[in-house]
Amino acid sequence: MTERVADFRHTFMIYCLQKLEDGSYVALNRSYKPVGMTSSEWVKYEDLPVRFKFKRGLSRRQIEALSYKGDPAAERIYFYNDGCVPTASDANWTTYSNRLKRLAAYLIVT
């Protein structure tokens, strides 16, 4: 097995939420794997016990507030991109942290 080097953020911090066909979501890292997953193998999200649904769903306004660019698209909600990496500056970290604070308050069903 070949080791791959990546920073902690790349693997363990939420990059985006991916909505699945059944309405559930998966929290993904920068490699589009479930947060914490280090495998480079193809992953079928539906086969893993990492899915959840928001108890009350997400409104357009909530989605826009979570998205780094205010995008209302529910299919994939990005918390940052390469232009605003949370670890690149204090301002980026604060903005990202505020998104996570908002997300952490939502109730989920697993």
- Span 42-67, pLDDT tens digits: 999 999 999 999 999 999 999 999 99
Tell whether the model's pLDDT for residue 36 goes beyond 60.
yes
CA angle 35, 38, 39 (to 5 degrees): 120
| Cβ contact 88:7 at 8 Å | no
For residue 6, name the pLDDT band (cuts at 50, 70, 90).
Answer: confident
Average pLDDT of span 19-48 = 95
Q: Which of 100, 110, 3 is nearest to 48 (CA)?
A: 110
Average pLDDT of span 72-89 = 97
User: Whole-model pTM?
Assistant: 0.92
Alpha helices in the chain (DSSP H): 8-12, 60-66, 90-104
- What pLDDT score does 2 carry? 65
Tell whether the model's pLDDT for residue 1 goes beyond 90.
no
* Percent of the chain whose pLDDT exceeds 90: 89
Radius of gyration for the alpha carbons in the chain, expressed in angstroms and rounded: 14
